[in-house]
Amino acid sequence: MLYKVHHRTCYGYSEPVMLSHNLAHLRPVSDERQKLRSFSLVIRPDPRGISGHIDSFGNHVHFVQVQEGHREFVVDCESELEVLPPRWPDAATTPPWEAVARGIGHRPSGQVAIAAGFRHPSPFVPFLEPCRDLALASFLPDRPVLEAALDLTRRIPREFQYSPHSTSVATPVAEVLRTRRGVCQDFAHLMLSGLRQLGLPARYVSGYLETAPPPGKARLVGADASHAWVQLWVSGFGWVDLDPTNGVAPRERHIRLAVGRDFGDVSPLKGLLLGGGTQAVQVAVDVEPVVEGDE
């Protein structure tokens, strides 16, 4: 699938902002699963400087400095990219999850050593016993790791309610467990806590969903906005995407933006500013399929 993504963020301030420094994770990753064809980033007011680098997780990051007084800060980015069908192992033939956990902990090297870094708690993913218990209900003894992970992925939307505006980026996992409701980032953090407590490497993925589903396909929760899901490390294969908000294994309709330990590592925009008073933010995301040959 070929997609065009438009992501617009607008901050409005009650008082002038005299200086702002911002980090942006808005350029989609380009790898063997998706190919970035073009990317543009437009900032208003004009920034004094924009610089880019690759962070420790392999994400594209832009650093933006605005030194002109302003009451509105607008970030417009457009991407065009090709999303390829994922390779998937046969879930029933993946190794038992206990073997994966043991293998990761035994002198890992190369890509396995990198994966091993995603077995620990992080600021948004604490180790809570109810999260471990939630995972263990799927991770029965000697069960193939991907079979168990798919079962957990499907259980979460049955046991928790997707409820827009019920939480914020600061809502702790413990609160999500208590209320049994949340949004995509909450369910990703919840699942990550359970998987990591079992010794399994798992990382947070930020991205997008196709806005309009193909004919005959159901619309997925979270379209028209940034989305979040999970990647699990499967020994002998690599990272496998799992969407606990929709209870599915992502395919071409999920577009990956960045990966990290949790939301804090991949926030689309974050920064520091001088002034501003109170602020209001509006975010609009549009994902549309492109047919080759279209203008």
DSSP secondary structure string for all residues of 163-189 = -TTS--TT--HHHHHHHTEE-HHHHHH
pLDDT at residue 295 greater than cutoff 60? no
Task: Quote the Cα angle for 32-36-42, to 5°.
Answer: 150
What gap in Å lies between CA 212 and CA 14, rounded to an integer? 36
% pLDDT > 70, the chain = 93
What is the structure's pLDDT at 38? 96
pLDDT per position as a tens digit, 133-178 = 999 999 999 999 999 999 999 999 999 999 988 888 889 999 999 9
Domain ranges of the chain: 2-83+267-289, 91-265
For tokens 């263990």, what's the residue?
136
- For the segment 110-125, the average pLDDT, to the nearest whole number, is 93
Q: 94: which DSSP letter?
A: S
What gap in Å lies between CA 35 and CA 255, rounded to an integer? 10
What is the structure's pLDDT at 165? 84
What is the structure's pLDDT at 293? 61
Q: How confident is the model at residue 192 (pLDDT cuts 50, 70, 90)?
A: very high
What gap in Å lies between CA 53 and CA 67, rounded to an integer? 21
What is the structure's pLDDT at 171? 92
pLDDT at residue 222 greater than cutoff 90? no
What is the structure's pLDDT at 104? 85
Bridge partners for 53 per DSSP = 61
Distances from the Cα of 154 to the Cα of 48, 69, 104, 120, 290, angstroms: 47, 49, 25, 24, 30
pLDDT at residue 213 greater than cutoff 70? no
Q: Residue 265, exposed/middle/buried by CB under 10 A (0-12, 13-18, 19+)? A: buried
Model pTM score: 0.91
What is the structure's pLDDT at 291? 78
pLDDT at residue 266 greater than cutoff 70? yes
pLDDT at residue 211 greater than cutoff 70? no
What is the structure's pLDDT at 86? 85
The CATH class of 2-83+267-289 is mainly beta
Q: 244: which DSSP letter?
A: T
What is the structure's pLDDT at 40? 96
What is the structure's pLDDT at 221? 55
Bridge partners for 291 per DSSP = none
What is the structure's pLDDT at 218? 67
133 CB neighbour count, 10 Å cutoff: 11
pLDDT per position as a tens digit, 70-88 = 999 999 999 999 999 888 8
What is the layout of strands, in order, in the sheet containing 202-209? 238-242, 226-234, 202-209, 254-260
Q: What is the 3-state secondary structure (H, E, C) of 216-231?
A: CCCCCCCCCCEEEEEE
The CATH class of 91-265 is alpha beta
What gap in Å lies between CA 33 and CA 71, rounded to an integer? 40
What is the structure's pLDDT at 214? 64
Q: How confident is the model at residue 208 (pLDDT cuts 50, 70, 90)?
A: very high
Q: How confident is the model at residue 220 (pLDDT cuts 50, 70, 90)?
A: low
pLDDT per position as a tens digit, 243-260 = 999 999 998 889 999 999
